[in-house]
Structure 1
Amino acid sequence: MDFIRTPEEQFKHLPNYSFSPNYLPIEGLRMHYVDEGPADADPVLMLHGEPTWSYLYRHMIPICAAAGHRVIAPDLIGFGKSDKPIHQSDYSYQAHMDWMKQFIEQLNLTNITLVCQDWGSLLGLRLAAENEHRFKAIVIGNGGLPTGEQSPPKAFKIWKAFALNSPWFPIARIIDSGSFKKLGKDEKRAYDAPFPNKKYKAGARAFPALVPVTPDDPASHANTQAWEVLKQWQKPFLTTFSNGDPITRGGDKYLQQRIPGCDGLPHQTLVGGHFLQEDSPREFAEAVNRLLGSNDAKTT
């Protein structure tokens, strides 16, 4: 597999991102991750989506680490400081699942609390369902696990067409337009940092087309099987969707009606667009901390 690695100088002096880098070898590729907080604490696994990287969680990581949690935020293959296969055909839903499974196995993560959004949810929910013994709780904002049985919203169809066909794919501007807040100049530089030119964007370009939109999609069966687990999921499952996302709006109610672990939890609607980690990072992080404090209290 041909891949490229973003030069380290691209990541110098990024605002609010002074975390020490960590790397794991995954099938000949190097995967980067942030690992903050007590090393012996239960892990909070924060999974980013499209077209972001672990920088998305820069404001949340210190809040959860300060509460005594070990916070792990990987860059998916093709994103951030992780290696980037150069052909879109190198990326598939299953390939991302295999990479992430190897990641949690190599780190031997157990008692995981999953925090996820966007593609972090498409990967994370399946990861939890297929490795249930490793997970103790889930917090999801603006995400889901589609099986292709429901028609995607118009906003997603527009986004998919743009990602596949537009000669221009401005990462930072995409994130800026999907947030209520306006990113600063240095924040935009940070989101663009992993992608010096179009050769580095194959993974970001590929993701929208990998979302199952028909029942015969290659990922539909595995996602349907994962739903069979989630429909029996009794562990805490908290939703923290935002009030301004045209793609996932209403998804929180869908999850709450189908996943038993949602019952009785203090679900929240946060202020923000698609990238709620930009708009309501403190509220999102504090929701995670409250859930874990309550959950820990119940188990001690």
Structure 2
Amino acid sequence: MDFLRTPDSRFERLLDYPFEPNYTDVGGLRMHYLDEGPADAKPVLMMHGEPSWSYLYRHMIPICAAAGHRVVAPDLIGFGKSDKPTDINAYSYQSHMVWMQSWLEQLDLRDITLVCQDWGSLLGLRLAAENPERFRAIVVGNGMLPTGDLKVPKAFQLWKNFALYSPVFPIARIIGSGTFKKLGPDERRAYDAPFPSKKYKAGARAFPKLVPVTPDDPASDANRQAWKVLEQWDKPFLTTFSNGDPITRGGDKYMQERIPGAKGQPHQTLVGGHFLQEDSPVQFARAVNALIAGLES
């Protein structure tokens, strides 16, 4: 498989990103992840989505680590400091699941609290459903596990076409369009850092077309099986959606109704756009810490 590795120089002196890199080999590709906080503490797994990377969680990681948690935040293959296959067809829902499963098993994470958003939810919720013995709680902000059986918003169809066919794919501008706050120049540089040229962006362009939007999508059956597990999930399940995301709006209520572990939880609606980690990072992190504190009280 042909792949590119973003030069380390692209990541030098990034604003609010002082974390040491860690790497694991998954199927011949190098996956980067952050590992902060006490090494012997129960892990909080923070999974990013499209087209961001672990930089998205930079303001949340210190808050959760300071509360005594081990915070682990991988860069999905094709993103951040992880390797980037150059062929868009190298990316599939299943290939991402295989990469993440390999990473999870190599780190042997257990008693995990999952924190996920966007594609971090599509992968993270599957990961939890397929490895329920490893997870003790789930927090979802602006995410879902689609099966293709429900109609998708028009906004998503427009986004999918843009990702596939637009001659330019400006990563930082895309992320900025999904936030209430205005990203500063240093933040925009950080989001663009993993992608020195268009050759590095195959993974970012691929994700929208991999979302199951029809019942016969290649990922639909596996996601339906995952939903069967989630419909029996009685461990804590918290939603922290934002008030300004047109793509995932209503998904929090849908999951609260279908997942037993969501009953009685202090679900929150945070202020922000699609990337609520940028708009309400402190509130998001405190919600995670409060959920875990409740587990341990």
Shorter-normalised TM range: over 0.9
Match of 1:210 in 2: 210
Q: Share of identical aligned residues, percent? A: 75
2:39 counterpart residue number: 39
**Aligned residue in 2 for 1:121:** 121
One-letter identity of the residue aligned with 1:196: P
Q: Distance in 1 between matches of 2:239 and 2:232?
A: 17
- Give the match for residue 283 of structure 2: 283
Runs of 4+ with >6 A deviation? none
TM-score, L = length of structure 2? 1.00
Superposed displacement of residue 273, structure 1: 0.1
2:137 alignment partner in structure 1: 137
- One-letter amino acid of the counterpart of residue 198, structure 1: K
Partner of 1:235: 235
Find the counterpart in structure 2 of residue 21 from structure 1. 21
Distance in 2 of aligned mates of 1:194 and 1:7: 8
- Residue 8 of structure 1 is matched in structure 2 by 8
Q: Deviation string for 1:251-298 (max 9, x for gaps)?
A: 00000000000011100000000000000000000000000000111x
2:11 partner letter: F
Tell me which amino acid in the other structure corresponds to 1:162.
F
- 2:40 partner SS: coil
| 1:1-300 aligned within 5 A | 1-297=1-297
Structure 1 position 155, deviation (Å): 0.6
What is the TM-score when the length of structure 1 is the normalising length? 0.99
Secondary structure of residue in 1 paired with 2:201: helix
Structure 2 distance, partners of 1:232, 1:109, is 22
Letter in 1 for 2:3: F
| Aligned residue pair count | 297
Structure 1 spans left out of the alignment, 5+ residues: none
In structure 1, C-alpha distance between the alignment counterparts of 2:57 and 2:84, rounded to whole Å: 20
Determine helix, strand or coil for the equivalent of 1:241. Answer: strand
Question: 1:151 Cα deviation (Å)?
Answer: 1.1
1:98, 1:234 → 2: CA distance?
26
Equivalent position SS for 1:194: coil
| C-alpha distance in 2 between matches for 1:42 and 1:101 | 18
Q: What CA distance in whole angstroms lies between the structure 2 residues aligned with 1:102 and 1:59?
A: 27
In structure 2, the residue corresponding to 1:196 is in which secondary structure? coil
Q: String of CA shifts for 1:26-71, please: whole Å, max 9, x gaps.
A: 1111000000000000000000000000000000000000000000
